[in-house]
Amino acid sequence: MASGRSAVVAERRRVIGVVGGLGPYAHLEFERALLRAAAARLDRPARDQDFPEWILSAIPATPDRTAAILGEGPSP
């Protein structure tokens, strides 16, 4: 019989972590690509449960890239 700890480990799922912050829309293309790739791996119509879990953290504190290019701010 499996111990309680090994039963929990067996049920643990992999979760994708995404750190954004290079613009408010930057992660959208990544998410579209992720969902398309997950659906393409199936040989049937996708269900919600077929897609991976992911956590997104958008961090908009990245220094302004345009200001850095113009020499008016720090480089991201």
Full pLDDT tens readout for the chain, 76 residues: 555 655 555 567 788 888 776 777 878 888 899 999 999 999 899 899 899 998 988 877 778 888 999 999 888 7
Question: Which residue type does 22 have?
Answer: L
State the DSSP H helix or E strand holding residue 34, giving kind and residue range, or none if neither. Answer: helix 26-40
Q: Please name every residue paired with 17 in a beta bridge, in sequence order, or none if there are none.
A: 55
CA pair distance 62, 68, nearest whole angstrom:
11
Q: For tokens 């220094």, name the residue.
A: 63
In whole numbers, what is the pLDDT of the chain averaged over residues?
A: 81
Domains and CATH numbers, the chain: 12-69 (3.40.50.1860)
CA pair distance 32, 46, nearest whole angstrom:
14
pLDDT at 40: 93
Q: Answer yes or no: pTM beyond 0.85.
A: no
Share of the chain above pLDDT 70, in %: 83
